[in-house]
Structure 1
Amino acid sequence: MDLLGGAVPEEAQIHRLFFALLPDEVARQRFARAAETLRRDQPIRARWVVPDRYHATLHFLGDFPLWRQDVVDAAKAAGDKVGPRRFEWTLDYLAGFRGRQPPCVLRGSETPPEMQALWRDLRQALILAGAGNHVGVGSFTPHVTLGYSHGTVPDIAQIEPILWRVEGYALIHSIVGERDYRVLGEWGSTGHS
């Protein structure tokens, strides 16, 4: 109860929806080793991502205070239209992005053309499915976030290349601040367990 005797409202949940590449167990373990290398070699204080949450975002569809079945339906229709895709992606360096809590990320020197095509085709399918206002207009910078630093952008560091055999992608739902992801749809084998 609040000071006036009324019920205290529960904290609002924020529903996050996005398309992502999910690593299989082999890639996940390699990403975890890269995170250990970063922690060892660069004195960065950070909030580290737990390995079962590693992913590469294809399209962020938004944060919503209420469940948006219309956005989910449009996203599933877009995934069905595009269908599964397979390709290989080599991640070969650690880097960071600027920001309030700069992410520490794994990147690849080259973006596979198949990945760029998936991003483009999925974007177009989302627009045609009526979710165009939930698709960003920016460019695609593929990466896997390993952690969020406390103000320090990590130096760029080459690592032993990690070959990720991407077998598909997924539509993901998460509640902001909670640990688990929920897979709402999969196209191909995503490595999700």
Structure 2
Amino acid sequence: MTPNLFDSPQLDLLGGQAEPAQTHRLFFALLPDEATRAEFARVADTLKASQPGLRARWVAPARYHATVHFLGDHPMLRGDIVQAATRAGAALQAGAFDWTLDCIASFHGREPPCVLRSNEVPAPLQQLWVQLREALIRAGQGAHLSRSFTPHVTLGYSRGGLLPELPVGPLAWRVDQLALVHSVVGQGDYRLLHAWPLS
């Protein structure tokens, strides 16, 4: 029987087995403290219990975050991008603020995200997004930046339909830190590269 070449391990140029390609993701995020993370996890547990027909891939509580700006997917961790993003983060002048999340909703997508969000975006959060966007553009990192902002915390990814909007909480989050985060797609942990207090 002739071996199927597509089932064979990929070899490198020296004939050894090649490492699978990795995707390195960089983003600025707001990271909840332990107590707030626990509140979000309780909402996720309630959602699972109240929506038994919802098939979803749930996010581990340690990975809960709100993305402020996405800096792209890359085949390796790019030191030049990290340095430019660090300069942008260090130049930011923003204070801590309160963010109240009060509903669960879904976004469209291949695996529609189930998210926690708020009906009203706090003005300091919107200003943080604008100021950081401007700083990143000045630092030459505007290529992947979104033109709009819908702040949210992803709880899971649906493998079925969209979730109807549901009221929750309200859940109060005192946001007092901005972080530059690195992750490898498909691996569990996030790596905190830099963090700046909002004060």
- Short-chain TM bin: over 0.9
Question: Which amino acid is the alignment partner of residue 134 of structure 1?
Answer: H
Aligned match of 2:192 in 183, 187, 190? 183
The alpha-carbon deviation at position 3 of structure 1 amounts to 8.9
CA distance in structure 1 between the aligned counterparts of 2:43 and 2:135, rounded to whole angstroms:
34
What secondary structure, in the 3-state scheme, does the structure 1 residue paired with 2:28 have? strand
The alpha-carbon deviation at position 49 of structure 1 amounts to 0.2
| 1:47-83 CA-partner distances (Å, limit 9, x unpaired) | 0000000000000100001221111111000001104
Kindly report structure 1 stretches of 4+ aligned residues shifted beyond 3 Å: 1-5
Pair 1:167 & 2:187 matched: no
| Unaligned ranges ≥5, structure 2 | 1-7
The alpha-carbon deviation at position 84 of structure 1 amounts to 4.8
| Unaligned ranges ≥5, structure 1 | none
The size of the alignment, in residue pairs, is 188
Please give the residue correspondences for 1:111-130 in structure 2 after superposition, counting only pairs within 5 Å.
111-130=121-140
The alpha-carbon deviation at position 2 of structure 1 amounts to 4.8
With normalisation by structure 2, the TM-score equals 0.90
Question: Which amino acid is the alignment partner of residue 179 of structure 2?
Answer: A
* C-alpha contact 2:10 2:18 (8 A) present in aligned 1: no
Instruction: Give percent identity, aligned residues only.
Output: 55
Please give the residue correspondences for 1:46-125 in structure 2 after superposition, counting only pairs within 5 Å.
46-125=56-135
What secondary structure, in the 3-state scheme, does the structure 2 residue paired with 1:187 have? strand
Residues 150, 121 of structure 1: CA spacing in aligned structure 2 closer, same or farther, 3 A cutoff?
A: same
Corresponding residue of 2:47: 38
With normalisation by structure 1, the TM-score equals 0.93
* C-alpha contact 1:85 1:168 (8 A) present in aligned 2: no
* C-alpha contact 1:84 1:168 (8 A) present in aligned 2: no
Corresponding residue of 1:155: 164
Question: Which amino acid is the alignment partner of residue 131 of structure 1?
Answer: Q
CA distance in structure 1 between the aligned counterparts of 2:153 and 2:9, rounded to whole angstroms:
43
* C-alpha contact 1:86 1:168 (8 A) present in aligned 2: yes
* C-alpha contact 1:13 1:65 (8 A) present in aligned 2: yes
What secondary structure, in the 3-state scheme, does the structure 2 residue paired with 1:71 have? helix
Pair 1:8 & 2:22 matched: no
